[in-house]
Amino acid sequence: MRPVRTAARAMLASFFVLDGVRTLTRPEARVEAARPLTDRVTPMLERTDPRLPTDPLTLVRVKAAADVLAGLALATGRFTRPAATVLAAGLVPHTLADKGDREHLLRNLGLLGGLLLAAADTEGRPGLRYRTSHAVDRSQRSVRRAVRTAKREAKIAAASAAAARRLPG
């Protein structure tokens, strides 16, 4: 499965890397399409931290840079789950902005589905929840074993002390 996962991630990431590079080279083309969304987000950003950029051009550039970096991480197999999560989170507002164009909406929904699969993929290795629960179970078994051993050793020590008291001398 490893070659299939590698190829699938590279194909999925290529869209985001190319689109991000295109947007970084000519961000003005995307500013007008993003303006309705950035106008809604700007007051929230200003309340959160006044130092954050709020102009649409900068926000479009930041999203494009995030798409390129996360796409490269996904394609190279580094931090694949966080990278897929970042790309999916960035795709949601993009999909909402394209809601009038059915073809773009369906394309974005397909990409979002692929990103969700990539974000959930553990490559056959157990996930964090599984590893944590099993580590807890192993720890509890070790503690129970240690308690049984301590009780057994205490009984042996008590029997030895009683036998030693009965010996002459």
| Residue-by-residue pLDDT tens, the chain, 169 positions | 588 888 989 999 999 999 999 999 999 888 888 888 888 888 888 888 888 888 889 889 999 999 999 999 999 988 989 999 999 998 888 777 766 778 888 888 899 888 988 888 877 777 778 888 889 989 999 999 999 999 999 999 999 998 888 888 6
28 and 95 both lie in a single domain:
yes
Residue 43's pLDDT is: 87
Give the domain range for residue 92. 2-120
71 and 151 both lie in a single domain:
no
135 and 106 both lie in a single domain:
no
77 and 113 both lie in a single domain:
yes
Domains in the chain: how many in total?
A: 2
83 and 163 both lie in a single domain:
no
52 and 104 both lie in a single domain:
yes
pTM of the model: 0.69
Dist CA 87 CA 66 (whole Å): 8
